[in-house]
Amino acid sequence: MKYENIKNLILTILVAISAVLSWAIWTYQPHYDTIESELVHEVSISDQKDVSALIKPMKVLYHQPENHYGTVKEEKIGKWLTEIQRWNFYDIEDGKVLNAHDLKQLVQGRNTVEIVYPNVIPFDLYKNVLHFDGKSNPSFEFNRILIQFPNEAYKDSAVYFLHDEERKIYEGHVNSDIANLEPQLLAEIGDYEPYIAHTINETQTIYLPEAEIKMTRYKYLPDFIDPDKFKYALFGDPSSVKRDKLPYSDEYKNDTSLMTADHIYNKILYVNPDREPDLSIEKEFLISSKDLLKKSIDFVNEHGGWTDNYHYFSLDLFEQKVIFRLFLEGYPVFNEDEMAEIKQYWGKEEVFKYTRPYFTLNIPLPSESEEVTLPDGETALNMLLADDAFEAEMLHDMVIGYKMSKDSQHDKVLMLEPSWYYNYAGSWVRLSTDDIGGLSHGLE
């Protein structure tokens, strides 16, 4: 009897415990952290690049008092960049303005390497590429670096940063024995082309190849990028974008912005009119050249938009415009329909206009490539000067480049034709040398 009582008591306790546990399970409400959901769209169309990969020289010149040599070969230019990136710059002096004679003497008066960039560079941005001691905090613009070797009259080496349009120089010092570089350069001088100095006027000297130039005419079957990728990259809320298919283009638009995918020239045009400033009255919206160039690089990096070998090419502070140009084998590529450049106009805090191609060159068609010969620099220059309507004081530079155009027989094929180009009053113009006896100009 006693055993039965104990058994009943244990059973009652177990039933009570079971009831308590069941109640706890049914009534328990666990606490979870709130998860906030936001619409996030990240697009990486191609590559991101840093300042050192985008801001590069166009050529390197080696001056002796009587001779000049030059190269646009990327491997040779890269070797000089690697060298100066090893240096530590210090004691950068305040800028000095030189007269035309002194500037010419600075460049040609002794053995000098001239590293030539396509346009002015804000030093505040480029100082992350070069190295400076803690006391040097330069804040200026330059488009050339001059490295002077010692000689009998000048026992010391010197390095200058030059803004040639303003004829302003900034002298610096480096913790490297620069003199050791000249014997190495002379040993490789066969890889450089002989150049001739042409004095255009008292303030302008340009250096051009002495001999004819043999190059290759290419044809490419490009790879095309789906324009929808740019919709996701450029619109804050892609789901609100309406797409309209037109005969030769597609239009993407929302309440504030319009993006056109031009299928004839295979390029994107994005416009946000609300961000366009009236620069004639809103000069307070102008940002510095450093900030303008940095924001332009960051903007393209945000959507991995470096689809080919683009380099920084020009900057217009008043228009708040930056252009990155396609380069092929060290030569700039031009196209009058903006198929060879990434161009940005900046407004109030944001880009208000952005144009660029939506293709990559991929690989050339080997069976379509052929060698062509361009006239030497002196012949090309004389063709310009022989034109009575040509104003020599408006000539800023001459370079060899490629003219990009659509193949007349195959619409999807791109042709790249070697050509002479010259910078005339700030615009790059093609010099047609098809007929040496005549002269035709094509504005790019």
The CB-side HSE value for 336 (13 A sphere, CA atoms) comes to 9
Whole-angstrom distance, CA of residue 265 vs CA of residue 79? 36
Q: What is the mean pLDDT of residues 42-52?
A: 90
How does residue 435 score in pLDDT terms, banded at 50, 70 and 90?
A: very low
Cα-flanking dihedrals φ and ψ of residue 99, to 5°? -80, 170
- Residue 91's pLDDT is 85
Residues 6+ apart with CB under 8 A from 215: 331, 371, 372, 373, 374, 400, 418
The CB-side HSE value for 141 (13 A sphere, CA atoms) comes to 17
pLDDT, tens only, 66-112: 899 999 999 999 999 999 999 988 888 889 999 988 988 889 888 99
pLDDT, tens only, 126-156: 988 988 876 666 788 999 999 999 876 566 7
Whole-angstrom distance, CA of residue 444 vs CA of residue 430? 7
Classify residue 4 as exposed, middle or buried by CB count within 10 Å of its CB (0-12, 13-18, 19+). Answer: exposed
Which segments of 286-436 are extended strands (E)? 310-316, 321-328, 331-334, 341-346, 351-357, 359-360, 370-374, 395-406, 414-424, 427-432
Average of per-residue pLDDT values in the chain: 86
Per the document, the length of the chain is 444
What domains sit in the chain, N to C, each tagged with a CATH number?
Answer: 51-199 (no CATH), 214-218+364-443 (no CATH), 220-360 (3.30.310.160)
Q: What is the mean pLDDT of residues 373-395?
A: 94
How does residue 301 score in pLDDT terms, banded at 50, 70 and 90?
A: very high
Point out which residues pair with 441 in neighbouring strands.
431
How does residue 421 score in pLDDT terms, banded at 50, 70 and 90?
A: very high
pTM, to two decimals: 0.87
Q: What is the mean pLDDT of residues 370-378?
A: 96
Residue 23 has pLDDT above 60, yes or no: no
Residue 32 has pLDDT above 60, yes or no: no
Q: What share of the chain is helix, strand, coil (3-state, %, to 5)?
A: 25, 35, 35
- Residue 13's pLDDT is 55
Residue 229 has pLDDT above 70, yes or no: yes
Q: What is the mean pLDDT of residues 6-31?
A: 49
